Structures are given as C-alpha cells and as structure tokens.
C-alpha cells in the first residue's frame, strides 16, 4: 500500500500491566483491509528518515494503510513542542498543525532534545560534547527539567487523544561521536553525559508505561563504545542518520509490538 506523507509547512504489555489496571491491544485500532493509521513522528534531526521506514514497517506488519505526518525537524526541542501544545501557538512554523494532527494519530514516536529544558539552578552543558569538549555539568539532576517537560508533552498527547487507543513509543539519542571523543580524551565524560540523557528520556516514558527504545544501546552497543559511523548508520556528515539507520530503528520499534498505551488514571 502507498505511504502518504504529510509534513509540516516547510514487551510493552508487561510494562503496561505493571503500571496500569489494564491494557488495550491493537485490536482496539482499525484493522480492516481499508483501515488507515496516522503515524506522527516528533523529533529533531536524529529522527530524519525514520518516518518513511516505520510507516512501511507498520504496513508490512499490520496490513493497514499509513499516513505519515513527519515533524522531525532540525534542532526540535522538548521546550518548543511543549510550548506549542500548551499555548496553541506554534513555537516554529513547522509545528502549526501538530496538535490537530496528534488528535487523529494512531501511532506517535518521539525524541526531542533538551536544549530548551534547562533549570538555571541545575543547568547542563551537553553542548560541550558536540564540540568534543568535557562537559562540566551533565549529571542526572541537570536533566530533571527535561524529564518533566517530556512527561508534560506525553500528557498533552493523552489529552488530545481523549481516551482513544494510541501506540506511543519513545526513544533516545544515539552517539555518533565515538571517534572524536576518543581523539580528544573526553569519551568517558561525554558517554556518562549521554547515558544520563538517555536515562532521563527513559524515566519520562516510564511514568506513563510508554515502551522505550534505546538507540544508544542499539547503535553504540551495550557498553556504548561502538561507533555507528563504522556500521553505516550515519550519512557523510558523520552525525545524521542514514537510511540504513532508519530501517534498523523501524525494525526495532516493530519488535516492541503494537500495543496501545492506556490513558493514565
């Protein structure tokens, strides 16, 4: 079946059972031969290419037609998404249809960055790692505001869906900078920073029993010391995901299953 793309202007069951009284299944979603699922991707550039790959994966797995709404935009932050959903005013033009699109979304995948989720009392300097420099403040507490913002976004999505079955999936950021970190002698410090960031995103997802895919584990290996560049997971710039990376991510999301996440009670 063809994938229709709509772009902005420019075992889950176990986790579910532990947190909530009951879980809905994909049978609560339309699955007739002419059924249509709306897939919404909310992310920064680390989710480029994923929309088409995951839409195709869903069509293959479930046999429904998929309409893709791709909000994977360069630098997209949790702060921008939350502001858009809470105020009704888009923080950037690409988000103008986000809330309305989420109202109709059967599937939502999200990974947005923490750059606008800084607590002045406990800031982080994650950006230093992108420059292959040692971060001076990147402990777990420095991501607490980001965790709270992610939780607030998920809650906004539940509100927009208004009790309808929705497949929600969260993911973190892989590390494409293994080689430069090693060259500059900052690998240990920046890897710890990345792990704290991953833990923060995971914590926000766990609050609502949302299945979480760690791309840090998947791309960088269990010790987080494997280089995604060597696996063909980045394009020529050495940072952004390749089509191979997107397909790999889609396959891993597929393995999480398609259980909707129940509305919090």
Domains of the chain: 4-120+144-178+202-255 (3.40.50.1110)
Q: What is the C-alpha to C-alpha distance for residues 130 and 126, in angstroms, rounded to an integer?
A: 7
Nearest in space to 201 (alpha carbons), one of 79, 95, 94, 78: 78
The predicted structure's pLDDT at residue 260: 97
The predicted pLDDT at position 33 comes to: 74
**How many residues make up the chain in this entry?**
265
Angle of helix 243-255 relative to helix 50-62, nearest 10 degrees? 40
Report the pLDDT value the prediction gives residue 3, as an integer from 0 to 100: 43
Q: Residue 202 has what pLDDT?
A: 98
Q: What is the pLDDT of residue 32?
A: 76
Q: What share of the chain is helix, strand, coil (3-state, %, to 5)?
A: 45, 15, 40
The predicted structure's pLDDT at residue 34: 87
* Distance, CA of 192 to CA of 224 (rounded, Å): 10
Residue 4 is predicted with a pLDDT of 37
Sheet with 167-171, edge to edge strand ranges: 4-7, 65-72, 36-43, 107-111, 167-171, 212-213
Q: Which ranges of the chain have pLDDT less than 70?
A: 1-27
User: Computed over its alpha carbons, how large is the radius of gyration of the chain?
Assistant: 18
pTM for the predicted model, two decimal places: 0.90
pLDDT score of 26:
54
């Amino acid at each position: 079946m063809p994938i229709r793309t709509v772009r902005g202007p420019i075992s889950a069951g176990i986790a579910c059972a532990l947190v909530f009284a009951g879980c809905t299944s994909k049978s609560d979603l339309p699955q007739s031969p002419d059924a249509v699922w709306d897939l919404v991707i909310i992310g920064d550039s680390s989710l480029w290419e994923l929309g088409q790959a995951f839409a195709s994966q869903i069509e293959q797995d479930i046999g429904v037609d998929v309409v893709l709404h791709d909000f994977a935009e360069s630098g997209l932050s949790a702060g921008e998404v939350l502001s858009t959903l809470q105020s009704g005013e888009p923080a950037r033009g690409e988000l103008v249809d986000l809330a309305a699109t989420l109202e109709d979304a059967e599937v939502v995948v999200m990974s947005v960055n923490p750059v606008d989720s800084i607590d002045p009392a406990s800031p982080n300097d994650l950006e230093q790692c992108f420059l292959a420099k040692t971060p001076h403040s990147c402990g777990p507490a420095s991501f607490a505001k980001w965790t709270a913002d992610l939780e607030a976004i998920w809650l906004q999505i539940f509100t927009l869906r208004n009790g309808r079955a929705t497949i929600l999936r969260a993911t973190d950021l892989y590390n494409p900078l293994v080689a430069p970190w090693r060259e500059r002698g900052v690998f240990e410090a920046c890897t710890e920073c990345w792990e704290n960031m991953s833990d923060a995103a995971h914590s926000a997802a766990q609050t609502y029993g949302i299945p979480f895919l760690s791309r840090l584990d998947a791309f960088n290996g269990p010790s987080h010391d494997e280089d995604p560049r060597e696996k063909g997971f980045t394009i020529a710039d050495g940072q952004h995901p390749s089509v191979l990376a997107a397909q790999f991510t889609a396959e891993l999301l597929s393995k999480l299953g398609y259980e909707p996440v129940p509305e919090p009670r």
